[in-house]
Structure 1
Amino acid sequence: MKKHILFIINPISGVGKKNILPDLIAKYINQSLFEYEIVFTQHKGHAEELSAQAAEKNIDVVCVVGGDGSVHEAGKALIHKKTALAILATGSGNGVARHLKLPLNLKHAIKRINDFNVKKIDTVLLNNQPFIGVAGFGFDALIAEKFDQYHNRGLMSYVRLVLKEIRYFKGVNIQINQRKSTENILLCCIANTSQFGNGFTIAPNAKVNDGKFELIVIKSAHIFTLLPLFVLSIIGKLHWSKKVSIERFKEVNIQLKTLMCHLDGEPQEEIQENNQVRIQPQSLNVLV
């Protein structure tokens, strides 16, 4: 019996690719193994709605075509469900896909689906809101909010935005598990996967199936000290910096005052001062 795949395509992500995707899917998906349908998202949150409906119908695979935001939407609807998540990465960062070592070339990524290799991975809850890759408070959340409003995506737009905003960022005060507070930090990240995307690694040793997440705190950095952090991030050695602390937890309490937070790069509107974070071990089926 053939397995059923629902392809959910974000038409905004990877502009220009949406017109060729149906032909690529028809050409490279193994139609003796799979039957499929294709749906284009119409609005923010639509991928989550479609994914939830697919899980209710016991569709075998939801394949999201987009960036980390689309993966976040579709994936969170499949947590603790039988339906597996597949990813065709067409976003500007593709942090989750890169961590899972999925092909970024669409032809190879579609052919990878034919292997139907399902792996259970962890997800994380921040105040009962799930995410798959990386969440954060502070400067990265500010950048996520600003970048979400950009029309020109891509690495260079991201770098220009970082260099512009770092000059004005005041830092955030944070307290972890009632310990002595740390003042004026640049950012606090909760990492289930290893990177933001585009090769910028925030948690070099993160694993998606070890039952723990990594908590990364970076002390506030001046624009002239940001370059070494960029370099260390690109080579996967951010933990070498004295400005960086990394701890591993199954559960943690984070107290801070900030209006900025993101989940998988998606800016969040409802921010709390007291934040509970906990792992959900092996809670999501993913095609790798």
Structure 2
Amino acid sequence: MIHFILNPNAGTNSPQKRARIRTVLEAIPTAKVWLTEKVNHAKELTQKAINEGATKIIAIGGDGTINEVASTLLYSHIPLGIIPMGSGNGLARHLGIPLSFEMALERALTGTLITIDSAKWNNRMFFCTAGIGFDATVAANFALRGKRGFINYIYSTFVSLITYRPVIIDELGPIFSFTVANANQFGNNAYISPESDLQDGLLEVIQINPGTTLQLVHLGISLFRKKLHLHPLVNIKTVKSLQFHAPKGIPYHLDGESLVLENDSVEITIIPNSLLVVK
């Protein structure tokens, strides 16, 4: 049986469209629909679906919902289908999954199975990107606004620019941002690591150094033109694991979710071939 894990509050769809989506899913023979109600609820529902013998689990929501379901499916033989309904949809975009609900549903039901890598930030899994610095500040401001959508993300970016100060990593000194990428983008076609590959057993570490306002504007343009890796402020290296130290209590982001560092030591590792997904 196919199980759907649906976040009914994801994205910016109207109540009417959300109701229609649920109706379409519930009409699929031999399928079961679970609705999330709180943070981490998708993990609980995924485990229930596994216990009920699910043959495929399809996550419907943003990157946070995808992360919760994927984290629970690690090392299992149950494939993850993705129907993107979030603000960024980074993993779905990297995999080439359509953003249209109808097309994404068809892909999730009939698409090709592949195995991808996952990554671990201390004790938390991520599948797309994670990091500290400016991008984490934007994610924190975006979360505080309580409104979704690309326009609100752009607003949060400009608000962050006004007050942002570089973060100091003990091993590197001051940085504008520091991102670890498994996939090639944050979402919304913002390509933080254009050459990242979900199946190569490697992570890209993108260090962006502080620069002038003009340099940072050009950096933003490069981000959406898939040329960030060519910018003079950017250094990228490929690793299987890394450790660094940063101030406890600063924000960090993990697959779009805004979090706060609980200690000053961070260890990140790649976990190759650990998640079965529908592409």
Q: Shared topology, TM-score over 0.5? A: yes
Give, in angstroms, the shift of residue 127 of structure 1: 0.8
2:231: which partner in 1? 241
SS where residue 142 of structure 1 aligns? helix
Write the letter of the residue equivalent to 1:281: P
1:19: which partner in 2? 19
Give, in angstroms, the shift of residue 151 of structure 1: 3.1
Give, in angstroms, the shift of residue 270 of structure 1: 4.3
2:43: which partner in 1? 48
Give, in angstroms, the shift of residue 254 of structure 1: 1.6
Write the letter of the residue equivalent to 1:83: I
Write the letter of the residue equivalent to 2:174: N
1:68: which partner in 2? 63
1:161: which partner in 2? 156
**What is the CA deviation profile of residues 41-88 of structure 1, one whole-angstrom value per residue up to 9, with x for unaligned ones?**
111111111112222333111111111111111111111122221111
Residues 173, 8 of structure 1: CA spacing in aligned structure 2 closer, same or farther, 3 A cutoff?
A: same
Give, in angstroms, the shift of residue 240 of structure 1: 0.9
SS where residue 196 of structure 1 aligns? coil
Count of paired positions: 275
Write the letter of the residue equivalent to 1:254: F
Separation in structure 1 between the aligned mates of residue 211 and residue 165 of structure 2, nearest angstrom: 10
Give, in angstroms, the shift of residue 222 of structure 1: 4.1
Q: Which runs of 5+ in 2 are unaligned?
A: none
1:80: which partner in 2? 75
Q: Which among 6, 15, 27 is matched to residue 9 of structure 1?
A: 6
Mapped contact 2:81–2:109 kept (Cα < 8 A): no
1:122: which partner in 2? 117
1:274: which partner in 2? 265
Separation in structure 2 between the aligned mates of residue 272 and residue 248 of structure 1, nearest angstrom: 25
Separation in structure 2 between the aligned mates of residue 157 and residue 114 of structure 1, nearest angstrom: 32
Separation in structure 1 between the aligned mates of residue 146 and residue 258 of structure 2, nearest angstrom: 16
Separation in structure 2 between the aligned mates of residue 20 and residue 38 of structure 1, nearest angstrom: 13
The reply on whether 1:219 has 2:216 as its aligned counterpart is: no
Residues 26, 54 of structure 1: CA spacing in aligned structure 2 closer, same or farther, 3 A cutoff?
A: closer
The reply on whether 1:140 has 2:130 as its aligned counterpart is: no
Give, in angstroms, the shift of residue 264 of structure 1: 0.5
2:172: which partner in 1? 182
Higher helix share: 2
C-alpha RMSD over aligned residues: 1.6
Mapped contact 1:260–1:271 kept (Cα < 8 A): no
**What is the CA deviation profile of residues 19-50 of structure 1, one whole-angstrom value per residue up to 9, with x for unaligned ones?**
111233367x6x4xxx2111211111111111
SS where residue 236 of structure 2 aligns? strand
SS where residue 34 of structure 2 aligns? strand
Write the letter of the residue equivalent to 1:193: A
Separation in structure 2 between the aligned mates of residue 25 and residue 19 of structure 1, nearest angstrom: 10
SS where residue 73 of structure 1 aligns? helix
- Bigger Cα displacement from structure 2, 223-232 vs 40-49: 223-232
Separation in structure 2 between the aligned mates of residue 149 and residue 87 of structure 1, nearest angstrom: 26
Separation in structure 2 between the aligned mates of residue 134 and residue 263 of structure 1, nearest angstrom: 6
Separation in structure 1 between the aligned mates of residue 276 and residue 188 of structure 2, nearest angstrom: 24
Give, in angstroms, the shift of residue 247 of structure 1: 0.6
Q: Which runs of 5+ in 1 are unaligned?
A: 176-180
SS where residue 160 of structure 1 aligns? helix
User: TM (normalized to structure 2)?
Assistant: 0.93
Write the letter of the residue equivalent to 1:128: N
- Give % identity: 31
Give, in angstroms, the shift of residue 224 of structure 1: 3.4
